[in-house]
Structure 1
Amino acid sequence: MHETEVKGILSPQNGINIYRGCTHGCIYCDSRSKCYQMKHDFEDIEVKLNAPKLLEDALRRKRKKCMIGTGAMSDPYIHLEEKLGNTRKCIELIDSYGFGLAIQTKSARILRDLDLLKKINEKTKCVVQMTLTTYDEALCKIIEPNVSTTRERFEVLRIMRDSGIPTVVWISPILPFINDTEENIQGILHYCVEAKVRGIICFGMGLTLREGNREYFYKKLDERLPGMKDRYMEDYGYAYQLPSANNSKLMNMMKRICKANNISCDIEQVFNYLHEFEEKKRHEQLMLPGLE
């Protein structure tokens, strides 16, 4: 890790990234892409020393309450968070200033802050977003080696359900020839149904590869799934979009299961829900808008 002071923390879309870089080791991570102009090794975490102060200044100046998002580019619960606690400091500020929170992670470390998430959700709205890609635990450890397993993330979703905290699941990315199977998607959706998630975000079955993350992805395929890189190169080469041949079948299955279980998989609807600030809890919030 290395420490730095930054000039700003809150984006125009009201998002924050408390750290820069990640140690979860997911082989497909888009945040490794060169287009994001990271000037240090991805695992050399940039710790923004003044992040809490900048966030407090920004929240104090805001005339209108809103949802604050985090986790889009860098997971707020990387390993260093156990020691540093910067994510918790920022959540404490979001709570104390009366803002809502939409937080995305792959880590069960979020349970440490369950008390704060409950407090925010009682006053406004807190939405926990969890990425699930691989139902098989052994395969999960291959493609997402240093993070909570899918089963552990499912347990987080169940705890959030029991705590009255709404959840959204990202099913992304789905890797061709690796986890783009009916069995895998059915397993993930079974977890979603049991955890009573509010919505699912899935842009399609497949993944995208840009310069930077493409090289890392292919390197890890060689190391962990011998022969798989050759199959990718034969079918996709250096393409940006790598759609699964099973896309239509799997997407139709997902939509059918979501409809049967009152889970929204309309991306625009789910994103609107994530950004919609609510001053206080409403009985109607038991469902996503449009699903009552």
Structure 2
Amino acid sequence: MAKPLVKRAIRGATVNTGSRRFNLPEREADGDWLDAQGEIDGAPAPLRTSVTVETPRTIITRNSSPDVFFDRSINPYRGCEHGCIYCFARPTHAYHDLSPGLDFESRLFAKPQAAELLRAELRKPGYVVAPIALGTNTDPYQPIERDWRITRAIIEVLAETRHPLTITTKSDRVTRDIDLLSAMAAEGLAGVAMSITSLDPTIAATIEPRAPHPERRLRAVRMLADAGIPVYVSIAPVIPSITDHELEHLVERAAEAGAKSCFFIPVRLPHEVAPLFRAWLDAHFPDRAGKVMAIIQSLRGGRDNDPDFFTRMQGAGPWAELMRTRFRIACRKHGLGNRGAPLRTDLFRPPAGPQGELF
């Protein structure tokens, strides 16, 4: 007999499924304890977050993907406490022999030497400047940033060297760094994308349980815009039959908050994300789980996921075209254009070397 799911408060994944690609077993509670918990223990204890220090040798990650707007990024953290069930970065936790499920959102890694490593890489002869993206894999402003402050240390280095920067986050904590970002933006060196997937607090709390309330994120958009920082709203992902009906309203609210433009991406379910997402649907939306997956598969060529460049970000088929049409009409109605002007790369000043820092 299959063991029942153990639901934990304010977490995204309903299971801690392992990775078949790496023969990683499922991490699950002891069966005897599950049988007795109702009579003896009651509900399971809250799943606590742990943070392990990681000491990489380099900090800038390079990519050559033709369908993304950056070729380098920095991830201050591995794993993400926001717990977004759809997060395409979940499978990376399997590389650490950890589950892309609950482990991904509770067993985190931090890179406290990131700013020091960045300074060393920017100092290398022949370094060619291009915008560095923060928040491309896991959120640089997830809750542990409050104490670790690794993201701020990175921005301080980029501000000092006048190096262009883009940030993607779903946290209003980004406003803490307005002092740095506004000065960079004044020189054409910074832009921020705020991710908002739903305006319904109940839905938002289900799909991204530890991310800030949608209204707090919209207030952050307004604060960033008022500080002269180019800010965009990322409606990503759009989940059919759960959040897609909000597309026009999200565009409207983004425009009202001062966003320069919006963009959207249909939900992606790579590798271990697909079974985690299916389990989450069964737990939270059993009335429409089949419909949701049927539409997703229609967007993805009959599969749970389409890994191909360009179509992976846009989807294909009638449903995808309908969303694009709705989105274009909404943006036109509310005066939102394409993304803003490219960031400047001509102001960069390499950081001083160890000898220079003595004087």
TM over 0.5: yes
Establish whether residue 52 from structure 1 lines up as the match of residue 115 from structure 2.
yes
Letter in 1 for 2:181: L
* CA positional deviation for 1:73: 0.1
- Structure 2, unmatched stretches of 5+, are 1-50, 63-70, 307-314, 349-359
Rg comparison, structure with higher value: 2
Cα pair 1:29 1:213 within 8 Å, conserved: yes
* 2:336 alignment partner in structure 1: 263
Structure 1: 4+ residue segments shifted above 6 A: 242-245
Contact persistence 2:251–2:334 (CA under 8 A): no
* Residue 151 of structure 2, aligned match among 87, 100, 107: 87
- Aligned residue among 224, 231, 248 for 1:160: 224
Displacement after TM superposition at 1:273 (Å) = 4.3
Classify 1:101/1:36 alpha carbon distance in 2 versus 1 (closer, same or farther; 3 Å): farther
Using the size of structure 1 for normalisation, the TM-score is 0.83
Instruction: Report the Cα offset of residue 99 of structure 1.
Output: 0.9
Q: 1:177 aligns with which of 230, 238, 241?
A: 241
Residues 136 and 244 of structure 1: is their aligned pair in 2 closer, same or farther, counting only changes over 3 Å?
Answer: farther
Report % sequence identity: 27
- 8 Å Cα contact 2:196-2:214 kept in structure 1: yes
Question: Which residue is equivalent to 1:110?
Answer: 174
Q: 1:31 aligns with which of 80, 89, 103?
A: 89
| Aligned counterpart in structure 2 of residue 10 of structure 1, from 60, 67, 72 | 60
What is the CA distance between 1:35 and its match in structure 2? Answer: 9.3
Report the CA distance between 1:77 and its aligned residue: 0.7
The answer to which of 69-78 and 191-200 deviates more is: 191-200
TM-superposed CA distance for 1:193, in Å, is: 1.2
Matches within 5 A, 1:227-242: 227-233=287-293, 236=297, 239-241=304-306
User: In structure 1, the residue corresponding to 2:267 is in which secondary structure?
Assistant: strand
Question: Residues of 2 paired with 1:101 and 1:126: CA distance?
Answer: 5
SS at match of 1:95: helix
Calculate the aligned-residue CA RMSD, in Å. Answer: 2.6
Contact 1:140 1:149 in 2 (8 A): yes
Pairing 1:209–2:273 present = no
Q: 1:34 to 1:63 in 2, by over 3 A?
A: closer
Give the TM-score normalised by the residue count of structure 2: 0.69
Mapped to 2, the partners of 1:214 and 1:108 lie a distance apart of 28
Larger CA deviation: 94-103 vs 58-67: 58-67
2-structure distance, mates of 1:243, 1:46: 36
Aligned partners of 1:230, 1:244: CA distance in 2, in Å? Answer: 19
Q: 1:215 to 1:117 in 2, by over 3 A?
A: same
- 2:251 is matched by which residue type in structure 1? L
Q: Which amino acid aligns with 2:54?
A: T
**Displacement of 1:64 after TM fit?**
4.7
Aligned residues: 271
Structure 1: gaps of 5 or more residues: 281-292
Cα deviation code 1:113-141 (max 9, x no counterpart): 11111121223421011112112222111
1:287 — aligned with what?
A: none
Query: What SS does structure 2 have at the residue aligned with 1:103?
Result: strand
Q: Which amino acid aligns with 1:80?
A: I
Greater helix share, structure number: 1
